[in-house]
Chain A
Amino acid sequence: MSVQLAMPKSWRIDTKPHKFCPGCGHGLVLKALGQAIDELGIQDRAVYGCDIGCSLLSWDFFNVDSIQTHHGRTTPVITGLKRANPDLVGIAYMGDGGGYAIGSQHLVNAAARNENITVILVNNTQYGMTGGQMAPTTMPGQKTETSPYGRDPQKTGYPTQGPEMVAAITREGAYVARGTVANPKQLKGFIKKALENQIAGNGFSFVEVLSTCPTNWRTNAEETWKFVEKEMTKYFKVGEIKVPEPRHEEGK
């Protein structure tokens, strides 16, 4: 009699335990995504694309067809895939560097074109894989390897407000939300809605997730949670930012 593991059905069990650092938020985001895939029953037609950076460690995370692409290029790969075969459910998974820096032109233009894909962007305020450099999302005053005296907004600007930007440039029909690993149940709901929105053919669906990086933050468990719950939320407001108008099919 095997033990029933508390893992989503769509997880690939032989690649667990996963490859992320202890305390990393990716596992929680991918659990929420796995649950959403299970609940929607789309394991057979979802295609999961992950970026370069820590997200690449998830290339074999799911029992879902997957493509690990280049840095910042997951959005166009999933866009091209979805355009070529609209029956697939395209999921582009990336970090804040991939989405808001090197791949920002892809994010902006895919959003502006209202590409019918789902983008999940994990925001941990710095570049994790390369050793903790400043990212577009680094908090004012936050110390990183390339802002060792703290980010000075006068010199390097304020954190990118990604979902707010995406909400501003997308049309009605788009879904935009910011979740947090501190509230996994809410996060799963956001991701599920973002996938449902794509399946309904409404258009671009975007979820940013506030996440943790104790390795590069050099924080203990208590400080890690305090940073994600108290500090990050000073700049990054959690909640749904753009919700499509009700679809008339829903009344049936």
Chain B
Amino acid sequence: MPEKPIKGEKRYFMTGNEVVAYAALAAGADIMYGYPITPQNEIMHYWTRMAPKYGKNFLQTEDELSAGFTTVGGVLAGRKSFTATAGPGNTLMQEPVSMAEAMRLPIVVVVQQRGGPSTATVIYSQQEVTMTTIGGNGEGFRIVYSTSSHQELFDYTIKAFNTAWKYRFPTFILGDGYQAKMRESLTMYDPEERGISLVPAEPYVGKPGTPGTDRPPEQYRNTYNVEEEIYEVVQNLARDFNAIASEVAEYESLAADRSEVVVVAHGVVSRAVKEAVNELREAGISVGYFRPVTLRPLAEKELREAADKARVLLLVESAHGQMARLIKEAAYGCKAEMIPFFKPGMGITAEEVAARVKSILG
């Protein structure tokens, strides 16, 4: 049985879902649990074709509640476990994610966003930002990478497993139907050959020795008797999450510290923004961009710097202000005026972004 699906480096032209399946294999994932939902299905399709060849497992569950909770079980057993979902499946996934968050279980969840509600559309949407970053009955102690290209789907899916197991917070890849279904070229590689060491998984339960004799039993709970107990649990989660935030947070920017208008966008929309900003800058217009790669935690310090130096932050997203809420909270009190450009569930072109920037600058 071959150990690795990818050796050396090679260029590929494939769909985003296929990329995710390859990346999970490259990251050393052991088992995927999943329930069919468009537009993530092909992650399961490719995983189920490749997994047995590398000694990996798959379980198709009865729904996303089960997909999430079986993923939790896989992690508890000490295996790198992941699932993928979208839309209403992401809604159901919030319950297991709440458990994982509070118990510090490093599940990896790939969300290929779709327009809501229920069936709605399955192509282009950024309407699952709020749910993915702070959904569930908890405080949103998770890490969310918003990818914008197939290369990033590959790079960040590998990274997500490492981040999850290093910091022990649930970790998301937030893509969308467009990235999932579109074909694009990318370079795939064996992470270890590139010097990226894979963080090993460890069991939470079923460790060696007899509990009570050789070691104390491992006992995980979400039930607390008094307010002080749950307060302490949440305070510890908050302290740990805040402590890693600056280390985990990632962003990209161009002239964000020296432009009159800074366009803020994440995920696939940031590609249109980059193109627009580059064209406008060539024409001598004072514009830059700021693209959060992690939506949770945000690169708050750098964002606030941009928001203090620019006159206007133009917030562009394929949702009705879900990213904008995160940005406004992080940049509270900064000088820039925040101007929305929301097209919920719709694609956004570079031309539209350029036109909006020009109209702001008069």
Contact = CB atoms under 8 A, between A and B. Distances in A.
Interface of A: 10, 12, 43-45, 47, 52, 56-57, 59-60, 62-70, 73, 76-85, 87-88, 105-106, 108-109
A179 B96 CA distance: 31
Interface of B: 30-31, 33, 57, 59, 61-63, 65-66, 69-79, 81, 95-96, 98-99, 203, 205-214, 217-223
Contacts of B217: 12, 60, 62-66
A105 B62 CA distance: 7
Given A12-B217, A44-B210, A105-B62, A65 B70 contact: no
B263 to A, nearest CB: 41
B95 A67 contact: no
Given A83-B59, A88-B206, A106-B62, A66 B79 contact: no
Contact of B73 (A60, A62, A68, A82): A82
A148 to B, nearest CB: 29
Of the candidates A44, A64, A88, A109, the one having the most CB atoms from chain B within 10 angstroms of its own CB is: A44
A47 B208 CA distance: 13
B92 to A, nearest CB: 11
A53 to B, nearest CB: 10
Contacts of B73: 76-84
Contacts of B30: 84
A45 B206 contact: yes
21 contacts: A44-B208, A59-B220, A60-B217, A63-B213, A64-B211, A65-B219, A66-B219, A67-B219, A69-B69, A70-B96, A70-B98, A70-B99, A73-B69, A76-B61, A79-B73, A80-B69, A80-B71, A80-B73, A83-B31, A84-B79, A105-B63
B77 A66 contact: no
Contact of A84 (B31, B61, B65, B221): B31
B218 A66 contact: yes
Nearest to A79: B70
A85 B221 contact: no
Contact of B74 (A43, A83, A106): A83
A152 to B, nearest CB: 31
Contacts of A44: 208-211, 214
Given A47-B206, A65-B217, A70-B99, 10 more contacts: A47-B76, A47-B205, A67-B219, A68-B221, A80-B71, A81-B74, A83-B73, A84-B73, A88-B77, A109-B61
A76 B70 CA distance: 5
Nearest to B33: A80
Contacts of B96: 70, 73
A46 B360 CA distance: 65
B31 A43 contact: no
A95 to B, nearest CB: 14
Contact of B77 (A60, A68, A84, A109): A84
Given A62-B217, A65-B211, A85-B78, A105 B66 contact: yes
A70 B205 contact: no
Given A80-B73, A84-B31, A59 B223 contact: yes
A164 B147 CA distance: 49
Contacts of A73: 65-66, 69, 95-96, 99
A203 to B, nearest CB: 15
A80 B59 contact: yes
Contacts of A68: 219-223
A69 B68 CA distance: 12
Contacts of A56: 221, 223
B316 to A, nearest CB: 37
A84 B81 contact: yes
Given A70-B222, A106-B62, A81 B77 contact: yes
B230 to A, nearest CB: 14
Contacts of A69: 69, 72, 99, 222
Contacts of B207: 65
Contacts of B76: 47, 67, 77, 80-81
A56 B223 CA distance: 7
B69 A84 contact: no
A24 to B, nearest CB: 17
A241 to B, nearest CB: 23
